[in-house]
Each structure stands twice: as C-alpha cells, then as structure tokens.
A and B are shown apart, each in its own frame.
Chain A
C-alpha cells in the first residue's frame, strides 16, 4: 500500500522525536533501531525505509539542528560584527540548537565526523561538514576576503571546530560556559592565523 507524502513526513518526524527520547534515556550506544521502531509504532523494516542506520538517524538530527543554527545565525547577524565576532555568533548559534542532543552526541559525532580515513563515510556527516565550511567561507567573503583560504587554513578551522564540539559535548560547567571561553579563544586563534594580525584579543585593556 502506498502512503501519502504527508503520512511519510509524519512518520519521519515521529521517528526522529522518538529516537531523540530513546537516545537521551539510554544513550546512543545502548539504543537499538528496534527500540525506536517500536516506540514510533512501526515495524523495524519500515524504519529502514526512512533511515538506513542508527547513525544516519542521529546524524540527521545533528544536520537539522545545524541547519536551524545557521538560520538563527543569519537572523541574529546584524552586519556590524567583525570576523571573530561573526564566527563566534555562527558557532554559538549552532551549538545552541545542538544542545538538546548533547547527552548522546559524543559517540554520534565520533562516528560521523571523525576526520580519520574510514571504510564507510557517513553521508550526512560529510554533508554537514561541507555545509558548515561553506558557511564559514561565506562569512569570510562577507568580511572582505577575496580569496578563499587554502586547505591548510580550512583544515585547521575544522580541527578547532571538532575540538570545540568534543569539549562541549563533555563540558560539565553550567550552561557549558567553559566551552564559550574555548570558542572565543579558538576563533581568535583562527582569525590570527588567516589575517596574520598580531593581537589575539584582550589587548584593549593593555596600558
């Protein structure tokens, strides 16, 4: 029996909702697609029509959160930000949307965004990476960079970003405030790298 497009969308979002609940309560590693299908009122086989693996399911949530984060960033951006500030706004907006997923995010990101060579590259993870870096490029263009930074600079950016994600997903400080300081410092470092400017921030108070 064919089901309508609307019913498909409903199933899809129900699966995502239930999966988030189950990942949050049992953790990513201990959750099974069977648990999720059961909770969503579907047969296990039907679930695979929507998401081929648990990893894809989790990474879809991450991607959607990051898309929302990008929308938030664009809405919040006033156009008066300098490079470091705009990058901070972008990264922080994304993390804020990822926050509900934080309890189970560690292993998901490890599997899907690992920079090491793997047999099976996670398609959603790779897309998320490319979209994130494209947004960074767009910020650089808006900030007056005529040439895109080379692969070294972008690899360093991505390494810093992964480092932030890793620290943040394990950050026990209230509201992950330690991560905010880390983002600030990491971005200042990256800006220093690509602009060649000597100041790494904090100089305004110097006498």
Chain B
C-alpha cells in the first residue's frame, strides 16, 4: 500500500497544468484531494468506490481541467460556485461503478502522457468497456426465477456457478442445453438501467451551472448519446435481434461466425448464445503466430466490420478484445452486439459523403463534411488550424482506403500518427463534434488498436471495394 503522500506527489506530476491560473497544478490536485477523501452519498449499489486510486484521480483531473477551462473567465463568485458543482460532479463520476473499468483505463493512459507509446494506447482503447458489479450465484438464480420461473440448473443440463467473463453491464456463464449444445449465458445486473438513468440525470444537474459557453450544448448532446448507448446495452432483446441480423450477413465461406441465439433461453435480461470455442487476442499472441495467421485474422476482422457497415449500416462501437474469438479452425467469432450504433439515413449519407470526398480528393467537399462533423455550418466558421487538425485526422483514417495492395496495420509510425492527431485535437480543445463521432472514433481507434496489436496486414482497399459493392441503399 503506497502512502497518500507519494500518491499526491505523483498526482501533481501527472495532472495537466493551466499555464495562466495554475502553473504547478496544485489547485487542481487540491480539488481532487478534497473530493477523493469525502465519502460518497450512499444511495445506490454502485456507490462503492471513491476517487481513491491514482488512475481514477488522473482521469477526474483531466475532466476537471477540461470543464474548468469553460469558466476560466468567470468572476470569482461564479468561479467558486462552479468549482463546488464541479467537485460534486466529479465525485458522482467517480462513484459510477459501471464506468470504473473505463475510468481506470483512461487514467492509466493519461498517466503516461505525453510519453504514451502506441502499445499502451492500443491496450487501453481495446479494453474500454462498461462493467456492472459482479453477481454471486444466488443473485443469478433470482434473475432466472424472475425471467424464466425456473432455476438455472433446471433450465439447463449444466450451468457453471462461476462467471467466465464480465460482459456489458452483466456477466457470462457457461452452460449446456438439455439437447447437448454448449452455450454462453449473459446475465444482466438487476436494475442497472435505472442506475444509469439516475446517475446521468444527476450528472447533468451538477454540470448545469458550468454551462458558460456554447459548447455546453455539445456536452449535453454527447451525454445524452452516451446514455442512449448505455441503455441500449441493457436491452438484450435488441442485442439478440442485432446478433441474428449480423449472423445472416455472413456465409461459411466468409469464415466469420456470429453465434446462434437461443430464443427460448433468452429474455431482456438474459441472453443465451452458442458457445464459440477459441481464445482472445492475448492468448492467440502468446502462441507466437506467424505473419500469415496474423494477416488472416486481420483480413477477417476487416471484412466483418465493413460487411456490417456497408450491408447493415452499423458501427460496432465496442471493440473490446473479449468480443473477438480466434477459433481453432481459423474462423473469427464475433460476439456481443450490445454496443452497436445503427446509423440513421442522415448519418449514413453523411458518413459516405465524407469518405467519397476524401477518395475523390475533393477538398471543398471534405472541408464541408469536416465542418459538419464539428457542428459548424460552414468551414469558414472554423479556425483554419481547427479545420486542419480535424482534416488530418480524417486523412489518417482514410490512408488504408487509398493504398493498393497490402496495408500494414502493425506499422508503428502509422498508428502513432493517428494517436498524435487525437492528442493534438484534445490538447487544443477541438472536441466539439456530432455525438455519432464518439462511436465512430471508438470504432476506428478500437479496431486499429486491435490490428496494431495483432501486427496484421490486409488488402484493405480490395476489401472496401468488395464490401461497398454489396452496399445497401438507405433504410427508408
């Protein structure tokens, strides 16, 4: 156990510094120390950790830094009032148990700034996901009695007491059906949707007095979108529907498999799917696979994601490594469609217009798309540097699309350029954007981080041409 003093010193080094008002970062550290020592109001099961760990405090520190910049020019009285709300908001943020995994990971990454290395960045991005507190078996049994009127051991031939994986807002147990099939049963923590709604409502209330700039609307829109996606993850009926649609998008020749859903054993809170044998990326890499194998899985992953994008207009926005299974027979398994962004027609057209403008090297068209992504009416309304940074980021995204032959996603320089761009945009405060960009960024960076880790290559352009040829017109 490290002493608080060491943590404070380390924290001071790691926190961002405000050159004008807080050059040593001391005031920020004091703010964090003050709230991390306070006990959290206990009104929900998830209020079970404080901003005690270094990682959590670093994350909160960056959030505070970013929010504070919004009231830098306010008068003293207003500033103090805002700080009080900020402290309360950060405290609540630290208490959202289901965000804990995500907060820790972001903290780990920020703690390494500015010397962040691509490997760490890849690790962090690919591991971000929402978690619920673990349930003991007695609680799982209660969920089963409510959902099916039967105990898990009655419903299934066998059922493992211990969960084998944490999942989006729940956990997964292995089981076997009476008919013999091996299945993975995902069970949701009771009442998690309610907690998420209550937390986000409180967070908005606490943040409200900070709404001093026009960007407040942007923050609100993003919070609303995060809430929408989190709540979507709590609806396993919808996820079952996503799984079935995704499953129908692939044939045996694709070597991409989405598990079959067992409807008789699934409800809004319990999702039973075929168990896919295989391992996750770390275990796969531990076998020291050859380049051929790495390339093979990179190709399958690319085909899979762009098939879903072009055929179903989806962004699989949860690139958590646990969602990809390297199967022993060389197939790639895709599981967990809880966090899937279904683009509406407007978003779908917007997304493709931007891609086409970049492919056609149509600069005015691309600028218009970038301005829209950043919620400006016209590129001329943006600072030239702002437009330039965002456009560079999009060019980076488009690089694989424009290269003939093999594209190497394991190339360190390529990956590093993408990170540098994100860092630059964040540092300069160019974060205003359409809510869908939260998910498209998560999709892009998560996928690329995964392929970087895999050190894989694929003929991306050919895959794009092949998949976009099977493009579906608009939904409506």
Contact between B134 and A205 (Cβ–Cβ < 8 Å)?
A: yes
Q: Is A201 on the interface with B (CB-CB < 8 A)?
A: yes
Q: Is B139 on the interface with A (CB-CB < 8 A)?
A: yes
Residue in B closest to A205 when the chains form the complex, CB atoms: B131
Give the bracket for the number of chain B residues in contact with chain A. Answer: 35 or more
Q: Is A207 on the interface with B (CB-CB < 8 A)?
A: yes
Residue in A closest to B127 when the chains form the complex, CB atoms: A207
**Which one of B49, B134, B138, B189 lies within 8 Å of A181 (CB-CB)?**
B189
Which of A53-61, A85-93, A150-158 interfaces with chain B?
A85-93
Contact between A205 and B138 (Cβ–Cβ < 8 Å)?
A: no
Which of A14-22, A30-38, A74-82 interfaces with chain B?
A74-82
Contact between A92 and B142 (Cβ–Cβ < 8 Å)?
A: yes
User: What are 14 inter-chain pairs, A to B, with CB distance below 8 A?
Assistant: A76-B141, A80-B161, A81-B136, A81-B137, A85-B139, A88-B139, A92-B138, A178-B190, A180-B190, A181-B189, A181-B195, A185-B48, A200-B48, A201-B48
Are A177 and B101 CB-contacts (below 8 A) given A84-B136, A200-B48, A205-B166? no
Query: Which residues of the other chain, A, contact B46 by a CB distance below 8 angstroms?
Result: 202
Contact between A177 and B134 (Cβ–Cβ < 8 Å)?
A: no
Query: Which residues of the other chain, A, contact B166 by a CB distance below 8 angstroms?
Result: 205
Query: Which residues of the other chain, A, contact B189 by a CB distance below 8 angstroms?
Result: 181
Could you give, for residues 162-178 of chain A, a 1 whenever the CB lies within 8 Å of some chain B CB and a 0 otherwise?
00000000000101011
**Distance A153 CA – B101 CA, assembled complex (angstroms):** 33
Residue in A closest to B135 when the chains form the complex, CB atoms: A184
Q: Is A147 on the interface with B (CB-CB < 8 A)?
A: no
Q: Is B145 on the interface with A (CB-CB < 8 A)?
A: yes
Q: Is B191 on the interface with A (CB-CB < 8 A)?
A: yes
**Which one of B48, B105, B133, B191 lies within 8 Å of A177 (CB-CB)?**
B191
**Distance A196 CA – B139 CA, assembled complex (angstroms):** 23
Residue in A closest to B101 when the chains form the complex, CB atoms: A205
Q: Is B87 on the interface with A (CB-CB < 8 A)?
A: no
Residue in B closest to A86 when the chains form the complex, CB atoms: B138
Contact between B48 and A180 (Cβ–Cβ < 8 Å)?
A: no
Contact between A202 and B133 (Cβ–Cβ < 8 Å)?
A: yes
Q: Is B104 on the interface with A (CB-CB < 8 A)?
A: yes
Residue in B closest to A175 when the chains form the complex, CB atoms: B146
**Distance A205 CA – B104 CA, assembled complex (angstroms):** 11
Tell me which residues from 43 to 72 in chain B have a Cβ below 8 Å from any Cβ of chain A. Answer: 44-46, 48-49, 55
Q: Is A5 on the interface with B (CB-CB < 8 A)?
A: no
Query: Which residues of the other chain, A, contact B145 by a CB distance below 8 angstroms?
Result: 96
Chief secondary structure at chain B's binding surface = helix
**Distance A81 CA – B48 CA, assembled complex (angstroms):** 22
Report B's interface with A, CB cutoff 8 A.
44-46, 48-49, 55, 97, 100-101, 104-105, 108, 131, 133-139, 141-143, 145-147, 151, 161, 166, 189-192, 194-195
Are A85 and B49 CB-contacts (below 8 A) given A96-B145, A173-B191, A206-B100? no
Contact between B194 and A178 (Cβ–Cβ < 8 Å)?
A: yes
Residue in B closest to A85 when the chains form the complex, CB atoms: B136
**Distance A96 CA – B101 CA, assembled complex (angstroms):** 33
Query: Which residues of the other chain, B, contact A88 by a CB distance below 8 angstroms?
Result: 136, 138-139
**Distance A185 CA – B46 CA, assembled complex (angstroms):** 8
Are A180 and B142 CB-contacts (below 8 A) given A205-B131, A206-B100? yes
Most B CB contacts (10 A, CB to CB) among A84, A96, A178, A206 go to A178
Q: Is A122 on the interface with B (CB-CB < 8 A)?
A: no
Most B CB contacts (10 A, CB to CB) among A89, A177, A201 go to A177
Residue in B closest to A90 when the chains form the complex, CB atoms: B138
Contact between B138 and A177 (Cβ–Cβ < 8 Å)?
A: no
Query: Which residues of the other chain, A, contact B142 by a CB distance below 8 angstroms?
Result: 92, 96, 180
Residue in B closest to A92 when the chains form the complex, CB atoms: B142
Contact between B191 and A180 (Cβ–Cβ < 8 Å)?
A: yes
State how many angstroms separate the Cβ of A170 from the closest Cβ of chain B. Answer: 14
Query: Which residues of the other chain, B, contact A205 by a CB distance below 8 angstroms?
Result: 100-101, 131, 133-134, 166
Q: Is A44 on the interface with B (CB-CB < 8 A)?
A: no
10 shortest A-B CB distances, which residue pairs? A177-B190, A202-B133, A185-B45, A175-B146, A180-B190, A89-B138, A85-B136, A181-B191, A178-B191, A177-B191
**Distance A180 CA – B108 CA, assembled complex (angstroms):** 33
Contact between B134 and A204 (Cβ–Cβ < 8 Å)?
A: yes
**Distance A204 CA – B101 CA, assembled complex (angstroms):** 11
Are A202 and B49 CB-contacts (below 8 A) given A92-B138, A181-B189, A207-B104? yes
Residue in A closest to B55 when the chains form the complex, CB atoms: A207
